[in-house]
């Protein structure tokens, strides 16, 4: 009887191993690899914990959201699809070419040029992570469909940041690197960012007065200005300029020409998104009352690409440098 026990146990063990399906074995192998890469990981997006048990396998970006930061982290190859267009253009031509080469999905266009992506399109595309913003997607519907949404903090509906600084860029780099399991990439990108920011601070020079930064897409019919919690704040500070709207904690908000005339800043910085410099200037000066502004009278209006400013991204440093160069020509 004892001689039968060992063969029977061996047979049971063999049968148990055979009972593990190929799918189960593949899942176990995937989990093992994810664990070796440091997963699961968790970041907070718009106050909501975002947990990933493995690296995202198919990523879609809305417009240029997060794209320059992904490039700085060496992770643009992880982006499978895009919705909408980007406006890096001549400000970052290599980045524009990389972006344009990514296959696009159908998308709409909302207020202020926001890219609108339907949940149905995201599902059909088979993505598991969207890097975007709530104005462009239905976060709740995506979550129910099993698709995760990561939004830069500045794009969150509840965003009420304090005074912005270059540290906000560091936070975005850290979060994205965590999502993709590449924390070491963040360290390299942050070191590079700090070196560039330090150089800007050393070259700030004497105070230049006040400035208002206005979002000015082609055909704009209303004024929108950036407050103290936007990346415009450190960009202006790097150029010895005082934000005329530093008393407003909102990132961006509507503005009347009457209020702009009342504050009458020394400089106007126009942030263009889909128009060249000449068109952007023409759009702004067509606003009733613009000609009465001190900055317009003194020819102290400059244009820089919006993509080099906000939300927090590595190109914000380039935006500060470009602003410095533009100011020197006036």
Q: What is the per-residue pLDDT across 34-93, written as a single tens digit (0 to 9) for each?
A: 554 689 999 999 999 999 999 999 999 999 999 999 999 999 999 999 999 998 988 899
Residues 54 and 145 in one domain: yes
Q: Left, alpha or beta for 200 (phi > 0: left; psi -120 to 50: alpha)?
A: alpha
Residues 220 and 313 in one domain: yes
CATH for 307: 3.40.50.1980
> In sequence order, what are the residues at sequence separation of 6 or more whose Cβ sits closer than 8 angstroms to the Cβ of residue 28?
none
pLDDT confidence of residue 160: 75
Which among 218, 273, 219, 265 has a CA at the least distance from the CA of 245?
Answer: 265
Residues 234 and 324 in one domain: yes
pLDDT confidence of residue 159: 84
Q: How many helices (H) and strands (E) does the chain have?
A: 13, 15
pLDDT confidence of residue 202: 85
CA 159 – CA 315 distance, rounded (Å): 21
pLDDT confidence of residue 20: 60
pTM (2 decimals)?
Answer: 0.85
Residue 248, CA distances (Å) to 162, 203, 232, 233, 261 in order? 10, 27, 13, 11, 17
Residues 228 and 143 in one domain: no
Q: What are phi and psi of 213, to 5 degrees?
A: -105, 120
**Residue 96 placed within a domain:** yes
Q: What is the mean pLDDT of residues 89-109?
A: 95
- Above pLDDT 70, what percent of the chain? 88
Q: What is the mean pLDDT of residues 12-31?
A: 47
pLDDT confidence of residue 24: 53
Categorize the per-residue pLDDT at 326 as very low, low, confident or very high, splitting at 50, 70 and 90. very high
CA 298 – CA 313 distance, rounded (Å): 32
> In sequence order, what are the residues at sequence separation of 6 or more whose Cβ sits closer than 8 angstroms to the Cβ of residue 74?
182, 185
| The 148-150 sheet, strands edge to edge | 104-105, 79-83, 59-62, 129-131, 148-150
**Which segment of 4-8, 83-87, 233-237 scores lowest on mean pLDDT?**
4-8
pLDDT digits (tens, 9 = 90+) for 256-274: 999 999 999 999 999 998 7
**Residue 196 placed within a domain:** no
Q: Is the pLDDT of residue 17 over 60?
A: no
Residues 148 and 94 in one domain: yes
Q: Is the pLDDT of residue 218 over 90?
A: no
CA 105 – CA 83 distance, rounded (Å): 5
pLDDT confidence of residue 219: 85
Domain extent for 56 = 37-161
Residues 230 and 148 in one domain: no
User: Pairing relation of β-strands 104-105 and 79-83?
Assistant: parallel
* Higher-scoring residue by pLDDT: 306, 13: 306
Residues 52 and 150 in one domain: yes
Q: How many domains does the chain have?
A: 2
* Residue where a domain terminates, one of 104, 134, 161: 161
pLDDT digits (tens, 9 = 90+) for 150-180: 999 999 988 877 899 999 999 999 999 999 9
**Residue 29 placed within a domain:** no
Structure-token pair, residue 28: 């176990």
**Residue 83 placed within a domain:** yes
Q: Is the pLDDT of residue 9 over 80?
A: no
Q: Is the pLDDT of residue 5 over 70?
A: no
**Residue 10 placed within a domain:** no
Residues 237 and 149 in one domain: no
* Residue where a domain terminates, one of 161, 185, 220: 161
Average pLDDT, the chain: 89
**Residue 288 placed within a domain:** yes
Angle at Cα 141 formed by Cα 138 and Cα 147, nearest 5°? 100
**Residue 321 placed within a domain:** yes
* Residue where a domain terminates, one of 161, 190, 212: 161
Residues 42 and 155 in one domain: yes
CA 94 to chain centre: 18
**Residue 319 placed within a domain:** yes
Residues 49 and 157 in one domain: yes
Residues 148 and 247 in one domain: no
pLDDT confidence of residue 30: 46
Residues 207 and 157 in one domain: no
């Amino acid at each position: 009887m004892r001689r039968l026990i060992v063969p029977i146990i061996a047979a049971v063990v063999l049968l148990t191993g055979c009972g593990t399906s190929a799918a189960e074995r593949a899942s176990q192998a995937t989990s093992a690899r994810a664990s070796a890469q440091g997963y699961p990981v968790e970041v907070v997006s718009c106050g909501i914990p975002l947990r990933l048990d493995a690296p995202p396998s198919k990523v879609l970006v809305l417009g240029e959201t997060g794209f320059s930061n992904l490039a700085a982290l060496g992770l643009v190859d992880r982006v499978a699809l895009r919705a909408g267009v980007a406006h890096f253009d001549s400000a970052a031509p290599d980045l524009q070419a990389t972006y344009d080469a990514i296959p696009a999905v159908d998308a709409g266009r909302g207020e202020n040029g926001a890219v609108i992506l339907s949940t149905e399109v995201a599902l059909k595309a088979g993505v598991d992570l969207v890097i975007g913003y709530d104005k462009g997607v239905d976060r709740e519907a995506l979550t129910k469909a099993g698709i995760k949404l990561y939004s830069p903090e500045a794009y969150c509906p509840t965003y009420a940041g304090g005074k912005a600084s270059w540290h906000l860029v560091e936070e975005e780099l850290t979060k994205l690197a965590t999502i993709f399991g590449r924390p070491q990439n963040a360290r390299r990108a942050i070191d590079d960012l700090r070196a560039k920011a330090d150089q800007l601070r050393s070259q700030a020079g004497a105070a230049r007065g006040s400035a208002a930064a206005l979002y000015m897409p082609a055909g704009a019919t209303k004024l929108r200005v950036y407050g103290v919690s936007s990346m415009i704040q450190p960009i202006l500070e790097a150029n010895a300029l005082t934000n005329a709207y530093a008393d407003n904690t909102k990132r961006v908000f509507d503005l009347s020409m009457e209020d702009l005339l009342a504050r009458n800043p020394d400089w106007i910085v126009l942030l263009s998104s889909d128009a060249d410099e000449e068109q952007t200037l023409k759009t702004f000066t067509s606003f009733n009352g613009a000609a009465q502004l001190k900055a317009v009278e003194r020819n102290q209006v400059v244009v820089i690409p919006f993509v080099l400013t906000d939300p927090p991204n590595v190109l914000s440093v380039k935006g500060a440098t470009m602003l410095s160069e533009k100011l020197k020509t006036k």
